[in-house]
Amino acid sequence: MTKWFKKLVLTCALIPLGQCTLLHFGSQIAHAAEAAATVDADPALWVVRDEDTTIYLFGTVHVLKPGFSWFDEAVKEAFDKSDTLMLEMVLPEDQTAIQQTMIPLAVDQSGTALSSRLDNEQRAAYHAAMDKVGLPVAQFDIFEPWFAAVTLSVAPLAKLGYDPEQGAEKQLTRFAKSAGKPIAGFEDLKEQLGFLDALPADAQLSYLNSVVRDIDKMGSMLDALVVEWAAGKPEALAELMNESLAETPEVADALLYARNARWADRIKARMDQPGTVFVAVGAGHLAGDRSVQKELADRGLVAERVDY
């Protein structure tokens, strides 16, 4: 396996699917050569509670630039009170296991070349986008469209100054391990990748074409999402997302809405057990008319915004 593919496998696996959906809706900016000055961020936080159970809901950004101070005030207080950290997924530490999970799903078992699925105009745009980020077009012909789309979504991140190690999940994981807190996930890696792999071919191609079309806009939109996240404005974040997701409704349903409903079922079931849980999932899952909070309300649970 080539070095670029090994690196890509790990990079893609580090970006949970909620954010993979968001990452292709953004614009190119100058490379951040040094860490930015510290910015005080106050992301939105909610709580669901009954007599003996408390569950916090924290919306995250999976990749961030250095310099954001968000693990303080109510967020840190809620985390410190919690017995368990619950993430979208706990990434396997074994790199070989990640590769062994991803490759069989990413490869198109029909043997159809990816480029042949695109018309002439789409193919030219796709090749130009791949060349721009330095990825080998020919070697991607064995893969399914969803994998190429995810690849193009994450490939420019470093040049844009974004880093998964600065992302909220990675930091929360380190804090939890340091404090000896158990870490659990709503899903595993195979399940997450399976959501994309199960998309119909036309939905995968629509996803890829939208990524290709918006590749040059990645930085500005991702910057805008981070600004709304840091300001604790889920409504504004939802507006940005809804505009982008409208073009690929099947992707939105598979990666956001259906998962929100399943997670709400898990949270409702968890309310039957005593204790305190800190749930941290992509901020997009906690925004909009079909958010986790809305799904919880349909199940008779009230998620209250924590004021801080």
Instruction: Read off the pLDDT of residues 220-244 as tens digits, 9 standing for 90 and up.
Output: 888 998 999 999 999 998 888 766 6
What are the counts of helices (DSSP H) followed by strands (DSSP E) for the chain? Answer: 14, 8
For residue 113, the SS3 value is coil
Q: Are 211 and 118 in contact (CB under 8 A)?
A: no
Q: What are phi and psi of 33, to 5 degrees?
A: -80, -30
Summarize the confidence of residues 98-127 as an average pLDDT. Answer: 95
Distance CA 121, CA 275 (A): 56
Find, among 280, 267, 227, the residue nearest to 78 by Cα: 280
What's the CA gap between 259 and 18, in Å, rounded? 9
Q: Give me the residues paired with residue 39 across strands.
A: 68
Query: For the chain, how many residues are written?
Result: 308
Q: With 70 as the cut, is the pLDDT of residue 140 above it?
A: yes
177-199 pLDDT, tens per residue?
Answer: 999 999 999 999 999 999 999 99
At 149-181, the pLDDT tens digits run: 998 988 888 888 888 889 999 999 999 999 999
Residue 165's pLDDT is 85
Angle between helices 168-179 and 73-81 (to 10 degrees): 40
Q: What are phi and psi of 206, to 5 degrees?
A: -65, -40
The Cα–Cα gap between 116 and 199 comes to 18
Report the pLDDT value the prediction gives residue 243, as an integer from 0 to 100.
65
